Amino acid sequence: MPHDDLTPLIEAHVRDIPDHPRPGVVFKDITPLLAAPEAFSAVVEGLTAGHGPGTVDAVVGLEARGFILGAPVALRLGAGFVPIRKAGKLPARTLGESYDLEYGSATVEMHADAIAPGSRVLIVDDVLATGGTGRAAVRLVQRAGGTVVGFSVLMELAFLSGRDKLSDVKLHALTTV
């Protein structure tokens, strides 16, 4: 299925959970999509758009649902997979980046040796919301000496303007809400 046709598939397989994790937030639950092999496969293929085997050295997945989507994207592209996690979760020496949240801040980390200098890196996540985590991921890849060749997401929440924080990155969203 071409990635241009994925909006109806995504809408049919991603459910809204109101007031999760707090009142006023509508959580985008991708577990029904993950449970549907044809839909999951089509989404993985769509996330690789513009990239083929040999064009990417590493795929970065953002905790936690970016792991689920990023790992099969890496396999499809013949690339390594690199997790970016919440602070304190990785066992070896790390690089960290902090970013602002609506109330406070958070930090994400990547193993310091996960990306070789000069590597071409595709970042994958499930939802682009405010862009804070995405910007932190871009900075981590750049600090490690890698080049971000793209940022692919299942869904972009346009009303939160996350794209603005990633204006210097080739952003590909399978659907925009």
Q: Which residues are catalytic?
A: 65, 102
Give the three-state DSSP class for 26.
strand
H helix or E strand, kind and range, residue 176: strand 171-176
The DSSP secondary structure of 88-142, one letter per residue, reads T--SS-EEEEEEEETTEEEEEEEETTSS-TT-EEEEEEEEESSSHHHHHHHHHHH
Report the C-alpha gap between 150 and 77 in whole angstroms: 13
Burial class (CB in 10 A: 0-12, 13-18, 19+), 68: middle
Torsion of CA 80, 83, 89, 90, to 10 degrees: 30
